[in-house]
Amino acid sequence: MAKARNTVFFCSECGYESARWLGQCPACKAWNTFVEEPAAKKEAARAGGGAKLRPAARTKPAKLSEISIMENDRTSTGFAELDRVLGGGLVAGSLLLVGGDPGIGKSTLLLQVCRKLAAAGKKVLYISGEESLRQIKLRANRIGEITGELSFLCETSLDAVQETILAAKPDVAVIDSIQTMYSEEVASAPGSVSQVRESTNLLMQIAKGEGVTIFIVGHVTKEGVVAGPRVLEHMVDTVLYFEGDRLASYRILRGVKNRFGSTNEIGVFEMREQGLAEVENPSEFMLDGRPEGASGAVVACAMEGSRPILLEVQALVTQSNLGIPRRTAAGTDANRVNLLMAVLEKRCHYEMGRYDAYVNIAGGMKMSEPALDLAIVMALVSSLKDRPLDEKTIAFGEVGLSGEVRAVSQADQRVREAVKLGFTGCILPQICLEKLDTSAFAGKIRLTGVRNVREAIAAL
Ligand code: TYD
Ligand code: MG
């Protein structure tokens, strides 16, 4: 029996639209991601949201030489850590998505950014669909006094938001969060794929048309519940993820996409009583509270963009009581750990198959750079033999399948960071050592070049 079709199906991962349910999304190849939603009133949506702002789109093509750009077009957010992730500051008219688990501190961060921008003379509008004005005020009181033109609005209707932004003409606006916003043109509930997509589209037009920098907060929810910000990633200029262990106090802001800068940078923050504070030296922070003379702990140096970070790799290798030994990895790639254990088994003849192994990056940081391989291998063997590595020594290098230690990038920066934090020994790939200007480190740090895993283990 024919039925009037007034629902469509969306992939909750990438937003792909289909007239019928599909097991696998043809666009992003994800399985079981299709959700049914009422069809948007297409004509109304297109003509409505679009037409009000569209005239700007009827502009003529221009040559690059005719386009004027202002030097120093970037505004500092007042947080050096955030500026670095953004590639030097905020670009006017850009649309930024700040994603992260609920309760991680997105609203706090953005409120602090708003406060700093307002103090620097910008006109800022903070729109919240989640909290009442009283709740915002309570939070703001903890953060500090607010000066300048910072105003707040509690609103979930996007049409009202649009009106307010067009009337108030702020320099920066914050939408907290996109999942609570709804457009009258779309029939489905707030937080659904079509609502989120339509709302972002409208905000994009406002940002580009009016030159307002707009921050969008997006919750990362467990799969399938509501549209994850992945749907939005294609539409916005910059995607920042705020991550970290909710129980640990530090938070990491990671650039995942950036049309105006590199994406490798991270910013490190610490959640305090008075909101978020910048952590200028993350290595110190990560190594805080390190046990002395313990086996199975090796300090490694990973690069996050242009910044070296020292962190402790911990391994615990114990006799297994099970047929299939347990292997877990926290903070790093579990498959990589399995691979490294296979290398140890085959190339160094350790009977890893008889042992359970747990690998952890202390501090809860997530890091999967291959340069951690050597430290993981050394930590595993150190724990297996119960022989600690000198606690003032770091190790970095990629381990290949034949047990060779391969070169990693920016070796001199990693060594310099180790020297800065008072380490006196460094185990690094031989190839890196040969290329390094060792005279700069003479007398400060003992550099040991290793060609394969066996040579590195000899250092234990
Ligand atoms: P919040 O910014 O509300 O998270 P999100 O918007 O990402 O959901 O952060 C809430 C958490 O931060 C909450 O657990 C309390 C904590 N917090 C502090 O520890 N200190 C502070 O000064 C503030 C404002 C929040
Ligand atoms: Mg919030």
Cβ burial of 158 (10 Å; 0-12, 13-18, 19+) is buried
Taking the centre of ligand 1 as the mean of its atom positions, its distance from the CA of residue 248, in whole angstroms, is 13
Are 285 and 380 in contact, with CB atoms under 8 Å apart?
A: no
Query: Which whole number is the average pLDDT over 339-351?
Result: 94
* Rounded CA separation 207/318 (Å): 56
Specify the residue for token string 């910059």: 238
Residue nearest to atom 9 of ligand 1 (CA): 105
For ligand 1, mutation pick of 270, 271, 272, 274 (most atoms within 8 Å of CB): 271
- Say what the pLDDT of residue 49 is: 45
Residues 98-125: pLDDT tens digits? 988 888 899 999 999 999 999 999 999 9
pLDDT digits 0-9 by tens, 158-211: 999 999 999 999 999 999 988 899 888 888 888 788 888 888 999 999 999 888
Q: Is the pLDDT of residue 40 over 70?
A: no
Is ligand 1 within 6 A of the CB of residue 211? no
- Percent of the chain with pLDDT strictly greater than 70: 92
The answer to whether 390 and 292 have CB atoms below 8 angstroms apart is no
Quick check: CB of 136 below 6 Å from ligand 1? no
Q: Which of 14-18, 120-124, 215-219, 224-228 has the lowest mean pLDDT?
A: 224-228
Average pLDDT, the chain: 86
CA-based end-to-end distance of the chain? 75
Q: Is the pLDDT of residue 433 over 80?
A: yes
Q: Judge if the beta carbon of residue 219 lies within 6 A of ligand 1.
A: no
Q: Mean pLDDT, to the nearest integer, of 332-355?
A: 93
Q: Which ligand has the minimum distance to the alpha carbon of residue 110?
A: 1
Q: DSSP string spanning 350-391?
A: --GGGEEEEEEETTS-----GGGHHHHHHHHHHHHHT-PPPT
Region 396-415 average pLDDT: 94
* Residue 180 Cα to ligand 2 middle (Å): 11
Tokens of 139: 């939070």
Looking at residue 72, its pLDDT comes to 58
**pLDDT band, very low/low/confident/very high, at 292 (cuts 50, 70, 90):** confident
- Strand ranges (E), 12-123: 17-18, 34-38, 74-75, 90-91, 95-100
Ligand 1 atom having least distance to the Cα of 246: 14
- Residue 246 pLDDT exceeds 80: no
Length reported for the chain: 460
Is the beta carbon of 105 within 6 A of some atom in ligand 1? yes
Report CA(161)–ligand 2 centroid distance (Å): 18
> Between 59 and 193, whose confidence is greater?
193
Compute, in angstroms, the gap from residue 106 CA to the centroid of ligand 1.
Answer: 8
Tokens of 97: 């998505």
Considering only CA atoms, which residue is closest to atom 13 of ligand 1? 103
Q: Please calculate the CA angle 205-209-214 and round it to the nearest 5 degrees.
A: 65
- Ligand 1 site, residue 392, Cβ cutoff 6 A: no
pLDDT confidence tier of residue 339, bands split at 50, 70 and 90:
very high
Residue 131 alpha carbon, nearest atom of ligand 1 = 3
CA distance 140 to 131: 12
Strands (DSSP E) contained in 25-116 are 34-38, 74-75, 90-91, 95-100
140 Cβ contact list (under 8 Å, min separation 6): 111, 115, 146
pLDDT band at 47 (very low <50, low <70, confident <90, very high): very low
Q: What count of other Cβ atoms lies within 10 Å of the Cβ of residue 369?
A: 18
